[in-house]
Structures are given as structure tokens and as C-alpha cells.
Amino acid sequence: MKLDADVLVQIVARTLGHYHARAAAFWEGTRHHDVAQNIEALLRHVQATPPFTLLDFGCGPGRDLRTFTQRGHRAIGLEGAPALADMARAYSDCEVWQQDFLRMKLPDAHFDGVFANASLFHVPRQELPKVLRQLHASLKPGGVLFSSNPRGNNEERMDGERYGAYYDLATWRTYLADAGFVELEHYYRPAGLPREQQPWLATVWRKGKSQMGVEDDERP
């Protein structure tokens, strides 16, 4: 069933309101999470000359922004919850754009890589193709998108005050391929556990040709 504009606004407001109101608790609960495997998965596939220009899509309080800058790269955050955006600026000393995922304004062909760690699953399913096309257009030719999402059986719902969409690998591949991405690798997390104890699906993609056969940034 297609969600109308008012319902989408409510979904975004509830989800961002949840993170805004619980920003301090969210930071304390996530600041020590080890996502080195995910960061390496993005960086090793970028073919540009360092330093890379990277977008941390849904950067939260800025943990990974700081890691990217400590690695010598130029990182920009995008975060919809005002409290988290403020925390990210203070913690990382990076530029952070306060934008929600459904009303983004991104520069074309600007980023060598996009790091979407635990963020894209908050995009309502009907809006996902548009968001993926925007991320595709924001990447330089050959740029890389990393995503990590909680996996599921292609259901979407409100979990308390947060919206989530939970895809299996086959469905996620279809969305990314339709948006013009070419798969580089995928894996499940946490590493070293049986599959039933690995709730996170991580995938890495390179910007390929759009359905029109040209790079988005090459269009007139």
C-alpha cells in the first residue's frame, strides 16, 4: 500500500524525534561499537587517490566521521536529528548537513565514497529507489557505496517510534542494481558467528551505469 505524503512526514518526524530525544543515550550505547570491518570494506574499494571525500550518511553522533578524518580523509556527515547533528559537529570537528533522508540536497559527482552504516533501513520502502538514485548521483564515477542494515524478510514497520525496513539479500540486490550500482562484496555481522546470530547484512557497491546507459553526472 502506497504511503501518502502526510504519513511519510509522520514517519520521518517520529523516527527523528526518537533519536533527538535519546541522543545522549544513543551515543553512550554506540560509541564503542567496533565497525572497523565496515570502514575497511568501504575504503579498500575506493580507487581514487587519497585523501578521499566521504559522506557519512546518517552519521549519528560522529563516531565514524572522526575515524575517517583520523585516517586522513575528508568526511562530511548527513544527519536528520538535530541533537545528533550537533553532537557530531562537536565530536568530529567535521561539516555536518542536517537533512532528513527524504528531503536531501546532495551535490552531484562529489564523493569518492558513501558510508551508510545502519541508516538506509530507516528509508520507507517506496522512497528507497529515489534515495538510492540520489546517492548514486552524488558519487564520482566509480565511487563506492557501503551499506549495513538489519536483515529480514522484506517487511517494513514502526518499531516503537522508529521506522524500519528489513530486506533479504536478493531483494536488496534488486534495489541497488536498479539504481545503477554493481555489487563488490557482501557479508553478515557480527563476524565469526552462526548465520542465525548475524542480524546485520553488509554490502559494498560501485557506481555503475544508470539505466539510461550513462553516468548520472554525465547527463546534460
Number of structural domains the chain divides into? 1
122 part of a folded domain: yes
pLDDT of residue 219: 33
Give the strand pairing for 181-189 and 139-150. Answer: unpaired
Do 156 and 163 meet the contact criterion of CB atoms below 8 Å apart? Answer: yes
pLDDT of residue 210: 60
Which CATH number do you get for residue 207? Answer: 3.40.50.150
Q: What is the pLDDT of residues 208-217, one digit of tens each?
A: 976 544 344 3
Dihedral angle sign, alpha carbons of residues 11, 63, 134, 210? negative
217 part of a folded domain: no
Q: What is the pLDDT of residues 97-138, one digit of tens each?
A: 999 999 999 999 999 999 999 999 999 999 999 999 999 999
29 part of a folded domain: yes
72 part of a folded domain: yes
152 part of a folded domain: yes
Mean pLDDT of 147-156: 97
Dihedral angle sign, alpha carbons of residues 217, 76, 202, 165? negative
Do 92 and 54 meet the contact criterion of CB atoms below 8 Å apart? Answer: no
84 part of a folded domain: yes
121 part of a folded domain: yes
Range of 130's domain? 5-212
Classify residue 53 as exposed, middle or buried by CB count within 10 Å of its CB (0-12, 13-18, 19+).
middle
